[in-house]
Chains A and B, each alone.
Chain A
Amino acid sequence: MTANRVYVYGASQLSVQQPLSEDWMKEPIVLEAGYNRSVEPDYRQYIQPLEARRMGKLLKRAVVVAGDALTRAGVTMPDAIVTGTGLGCVESTEFFLDAMCREGESLLKPTYFMQSTHNTISSSLAIRLRCHGYNATYAHKSISFESALKDAVMQVEEESIGTAMVCGFDEVTPSYYGLLKKIGFLGREGEASGESAVAVVIGGKQEGEKAICSIAGLKMLYCPDYSQMRSAVSQMLESAGVKAEEVGGVLLGYNGSERSRVLYDGLRKGALGEFEPLHFKSIFGECYTASALAFYASVCCMAAGAIPEVMRMDVRGTKPCKSILVVNFDDEKNCAITLLK
């Protein structure tokens, strides 16, 4: 049995760049190394105050970005909502834990408790949309988004569902940034932090010309060496019928730190030498689901048919884009390879 092809119908973002916009492709907001927060839209345009009162920042972002992605895709009700998040609603978790430290385990606010679980975001989107379909959340550190995407893609391929909204959400609060800096995940010299709220609508059957591109490959490897990665990429290109020279570039997780430079320089030399390196974290910053922003950026390149200058590391000017790779090896153990065509 041949698996169904999976297409991307729409994608949207709220991040450190202009909200719900692709302005970053031409004039990105310049990120400073260190701590950065998302640019918020005017939520009153999208959410009634009585509804918004119980939502933390990340939940508001999720609601708005999901609505925008569905509108762009022309889908009113997805069959499934699958979310990847490294940390969930950290702000609510902090409020809840602060209150617990201050007042003990009694008299804690139920709203913060409910919102401090990782799956709050995906389920809140379902409640708001009245979507009774499949709903799942993956919290797998830096491959949370790809895990969610893989789940949705497999279900579309098997025709269990027709459409799915796949999301990647993470917020970084000032205090959590401090903690992540202490453990060495964020805040290395030269590195800019960011936040992600990305929603992507995928589906199985191409309806007219609405699909932007297809997800031609998605593979996750655990602790691969360069030769395994090289072979995974070659097999992916071969089965998708894509020649290496047709790949516009490969998005890599260079985030300005020395660690990421060494990591991804090694990866390029060892496994991805034939592809032009592209960066996205200098535009969107670093967080657990930064790869959701890489996927979104790739979809934008496919929609535009060109890779913008702001993403190119070595060469100036735009470059045609018929297909594009995303390789996420941020934690040096889990490797996710995605091919769009």
Chain B
Amino acid sequence: MEELILNLKKQIIEVLNLEEIKPEDIDENAPLFGEGLALDSIDALELIVLMEKNYGIKIKDPNEGKEIFKSVRVMAEYIEQHRTK
């Protein structure tokens, strides 16, 4: 799980172009939206693409996305259960 969390942080930094942020700067338990990284709706779209491209997970229901993207740890747990690649 810890390895997956680290990889996920690196992928988030890359797809969201968070140039000045390092993996260790991201608290895996902190909210991704509103607080923490303060991501927005466009970032949510980028994360949906990331999930499908890297882990084969399709998120179709926006309400489902809200739960999955609560924090990096929640994302990692969801990925571990649902990944197809």
Contacts and interface: CB of A to CB of B under 8 A. Distances in A.
Interface stretch (B15-23, B26-34, B60-68, B73-81): B15-23
B17 A108 contact: no
A114 B42 CA distance: 10
A1 B38 CA distance: 53
Contacts of B19: 49, 53
B42 A53 contact: no
Contacts of A53: 16-19
A54 B45 contact: no
Contact of B38 (A50, A54, A106, A111): A50
Given A50-B38, A54-B42, A114-B42, A109 B49 contact: yes
Nearest to B44: A110
Interface string A105-118: 01111110010000
B55 to A, nearest CB: 12
Contacts of A107: 49, 52-53
Interface residues of B, number: 13
B1 to A, nearest CB: 25
B47 to A, nearest CB: 10
State which size class the interface on A falls in: 10 to 19
Interface of A: 49-50, 53-54, 103, 106-111, 114
Contacts of B45: 110
A109 B48 CA distance: 10
B10 to A, nearest CB: 15
B41 to A, nearest CB: 10
A5 B38 CA distance: 46
Given A50-B38, A54-B42, A110 B49 contact: yes
Contacts of A114: 42
Contacts of B16: 53
A107 B16 CA distance: 15
A103 B46 CA distance: 15
A52 to B, nearest CB: 8
B20 A111 contact: no
B15 A109 contact: yes
A54 B52 contact: no
B53 A110 contact: no
A107 B85 CA distance: 15
